[in-house]
């Protein structure tokens, strides 16, 4: 090679290395590029098939072999397809580049799982020409590597269940407990693993086939998953589930939900597909994101922190990425909804102002469901440009919307419905300013509503359910559950008024006073429901030591006996125990942590419940 002309082969090696390790190579001079023996061997010797690059104290180290010790740090490997000298011509056709993280097993497992198995097993072109026996072997290799990875992590780090490096998706976690149930060292460990395995079975199939589910089916799956992880955390039959492992599980569950939503919505053209279709799918996606955020907040921030046998010790877990994805989807829905409402108010001749081809032009080339910190600035810039485009149309319809609302403002219910129907438009600065008086009227109506809720609560809270002066009553609910359900319904109503006010009225002078009053009422509601639960807990625990209460039952209790005087069958299982079981189940579902003594009695009563009911019928 002529002097002064750079060796493009070596530049390729060093540029790739620089990019991979994220370093600036200013200190690497030309002699190093030219005189590194290992690099020269790899490039100039057809028999030398491999070049390994790794960080070292001096900068980088190069080798033509991979030693066992190399697996501790990141490793970059260049290797050849064919045993040839590397030239300018074959540089990009004969060199493969691979990285190795954590361990060779992990790197091979991830490569098979995410690259080669999908291509060779799922791609029609390749799978058609790939021997079925080899397909089975590849599937077995993937499964086997996963098993080895999970087992080697446990033995290597001696942290047992605290290590989750091999658990990347929920199915990995389910598989972990299946393996532990079969391979555990002690019988008690196998029983515990089998217990968790059985709990996870109710959602395992759905997560294995997640991509085949609909958005609405996954909305339901979020609720089912919540119940399962709650059961896993609050079980007391075996040693508790490790907190670090549960934190990781909540995280990967949220990640799976988020990726599922992105994949499903990615099949739609969110700007051109029919509004009703986009709206329906976006709302389902938003619900999945919101509900899982609520689940994590409720369980780790409240329920589990108060669960005495196994309290959550860390801060509450907040799935930030999923939350931001949900908010992005809300923004997309708002953009489509605003456009739809503008079309509704503008005369047909003016629709051209907001024609699809122009309004959504700023979003060209953006996939709005791909939320991450890198796409956020691009998204905000597109939204800003979009708002400039619709500004003239907003000016035109502000007056029309004002006239429409002014005609119905004497009816509180109609006024509220109108603001809810057009809330996306009312949020727009131009329209919000135009509707100042109408928004003041709405705030006054909401203030009156909160006063009515407070008065209704104060008049009924000490009464008997079902009476004119007591809480409204539901079917098949004991007094404590009925009262809590009743006050929860009031909470929802007050919470709805707060949300509409925060969304549309936060700039008004009376908003802060309203907000304080509404929040104070919510605090009263929460205090009332806690008092109801505490009174019930004290009453039940007192009854546990009173043989006349009908609540006394032990694991070795006789469920029946024959009366010696007349030979009749007596069943020692009171109706109060049946009611207690229902109360425990319903209060748990409402988020209350049942005291350990009461839960223990309920567990014993549950074992005899079916037999007792049958015997009573006899």
| pLDDT tens track for 190-228 | 899 999 999 999 999 999 999 999 999 999 999 999 999
What's the mean pLDDT when you consider all of the chain?
A: 84
Enter the tokens of residue 611.
């037999």
Tokens of 395: 């000016």
Give the pLDDT mean for 291-307: 93
Q: What is the pLDDT of residue 451?
A: 96
Whole-number pLDDT of residue 159: 39
The span from the CA of 131 to the CA of 129, in Å, is: 6
Give me the percent of the chain exceeding a pLDDT of 70. 85
Residue 555 pLDDT level (bands cut at 50, 70, 90): very low
What does the pLDDT average to over 442-457? 94
Per the listing, tokens 């091979």 go with: 108
**Whole-number pLDDT of residue 154:** 47
Lowest mean pLDDT among 81-85, 343-347, 354-358, 395-399: 354-358
pLDDT tens readout for residues 406-441: 888 888 888 888 899 888 899 988 899 999 999 999
Residue located via tokens 């098979």: 112
Backbone angles phi, psi at 347, to 5 degrees: -60, 155
Give tens-digit pLDDT for 136-177: 788 888 878 877 776 654 444 443 577 787 788 899 899 999
How far is the CA of 435 from the CAs of 65, 409, 508, in angstroms?
74, 12, 12
Least confidently predicted of 1-10, 38-47, 175-184, 595-604:
1-10
- Mean pLDDT, residues 597-605: 81
How many other CB atoms are there within 10 angstroms of residue 587's CB atom? 21
pLDDT value for 103: 76
> Which has more confidence, 326 or 19?
326
Supply 190's token pair: 């196998």
Question: How many angstroms separate the CA atoms of 606 and 608, rounded?
Answer: 5
Confidence of residue 517 (pLDDT cuts 50, 70, 90): very high
| Residue 561 β-bridge partners | 570
Cβ atoms of residues 167 and 173 within 8 Å: yes
192 contacts 238 by C-beta, under 8 angstroms: yes
Q: Residue 548 above 70 pLDDT?
A: no
In tens, the pLDDT along 26-38 reads 555 545 656 788 9
List of residues 6+ apart from 199 with CB closer than 8 A: 228, 231, 232, 235
Q: Give this prediction's pTM.
A: 0.74
Which has the minimum average pLDDT: 200-214, 521-535, 548-562, 585-599?
548-562
What pLDDT is recorded for position 150? 67
CA distance 297 to 231: 16
**Amino acid 260: pLDDT:** 95
Q: What would the pLDDT profile of 219-260 be if each residue is shown by its tens digit?
A: 999 999 999 999 999 998 899 999 999 999 999 999 999 999
Confidence at residue 155, expressed as pLDDT on a 0 to 100 scale: 47
């Amino acid at each position: 090679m002529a002097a002064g002309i750079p060796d493009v082969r070596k530049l390729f090696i060093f540029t790739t290395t620089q990019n991979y390790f994220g370093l600036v190579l200013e200190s690497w001079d030309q002699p190093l590029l030219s005189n590194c023996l290992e690099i020269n061997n790899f490039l100039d010797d057809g028999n030398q098939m491999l070049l390994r690059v790794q960080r070292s104290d001096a900068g980088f180290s190069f080798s033509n072999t991979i030693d066992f010790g190399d697996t501790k740090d990141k490793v970059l490997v260049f290797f050849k397809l064919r045993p040839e000298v590397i030239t300018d011509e074959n540089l990009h056709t004969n060199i493969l580049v691979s990285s190795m993280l954590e361990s060779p097993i992990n790197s091979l497992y991830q490569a098979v799982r995410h690259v080669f198995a999908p291509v060779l097993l799922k791609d029609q072109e390749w799978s058609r020409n790939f021997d079925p026996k080899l397909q089975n072997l590849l599937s077995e290799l993937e499964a086997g590597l996963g098993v080895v990875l999970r087992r080697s992590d446990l033995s290597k780090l001696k942290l047992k269940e605290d290590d989750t490096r091999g658990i990347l998706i929920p199915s990995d976690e389910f598989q972990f407990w299946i393996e532990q149930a079969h391979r555990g060292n002690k019988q008690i460990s196998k029983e515990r693993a089998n217990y968790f395995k059985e709990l996870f079975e109710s959602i395992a199939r759905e997560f294995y086939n997640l991509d085949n589910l609909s958005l609405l089916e996954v909305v339901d799956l979020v609720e089912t998953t919540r119940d399962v992880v709650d059961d896993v955390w609050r079980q007391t039959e075996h040693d508790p589930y490790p907190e670090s492992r549960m934190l990781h599980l909540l995280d990967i569950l949220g990640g799976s939900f988020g990726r599922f939503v992105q994949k499903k919505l990615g099949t739609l053209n969110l700007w051109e597909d029919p509004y009703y279709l986009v709206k329906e799918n976006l709302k389902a996606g938003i619900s999945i994101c919101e509900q899982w955020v609520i689940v994590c907040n409720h369980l780790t921030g409240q329920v589990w922190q108060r669960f005495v046998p196994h309290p959550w010790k860390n801060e509450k877990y907040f799935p930030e990425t999923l939350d931001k994805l949900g908010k992005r989807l809300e923004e997309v829905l708002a953009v489509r909804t605003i456009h739809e409402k503008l079309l509704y108010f503008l005369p047909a001749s003016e629709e051209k102002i907001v024609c699809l081809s122009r309004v959504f032009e700023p979003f060209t080339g953006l996939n709005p469901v791909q939320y991450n910190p890198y796409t956020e600035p691009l998204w905000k810039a597109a939204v800003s440009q979009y708002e400039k485009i619709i500004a003239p149309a907003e000016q035109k319809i502000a007056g029309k919307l004002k006239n429409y609302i002014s005609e119905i403002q004497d009816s509180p219910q109609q006024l509220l419905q109108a603001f809810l129907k057009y809330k996306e438009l009312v949020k727009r600065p131009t329209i919000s300013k135009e509707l100042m008086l109408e928004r003041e009227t709405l705030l006054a109506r909401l203030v009156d509503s909160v006063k009515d809720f407070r008065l209704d609560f104060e008049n009924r809270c000490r009464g008997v359910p079902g009476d004119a002066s007591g809480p409204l009553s539901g079917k098949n609910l004991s007094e404590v559950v009925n009262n809590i359900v009743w006050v929860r319904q009031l909470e929802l109503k007050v919470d709805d008024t707060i949300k509409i006010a925060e969304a549309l009225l936060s700039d008004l002078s009376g908003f802060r006073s309203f907000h304080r009053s509404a929040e104070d009422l919510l605090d009263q509601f929460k205090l009332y429901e806690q008092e109801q639960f505490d009174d019930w807990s004290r009453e039940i625990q007192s009854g546990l030591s009173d043989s006349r209460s009908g609540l006394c039952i032990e694991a070795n209790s006789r469920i029946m006996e024959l009366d010696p005087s007349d030979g009749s069958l007596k069943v020692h299982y009171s109706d109060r125990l049946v009611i207690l079981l229902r109360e425990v189940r319903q209060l748990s579902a409402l988020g209350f942590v049942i005291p350990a003594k009461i839960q223990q009695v309920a567990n014993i009563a549950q074992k005899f419940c079916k037999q007792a009911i049958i015997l009573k019928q006899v």
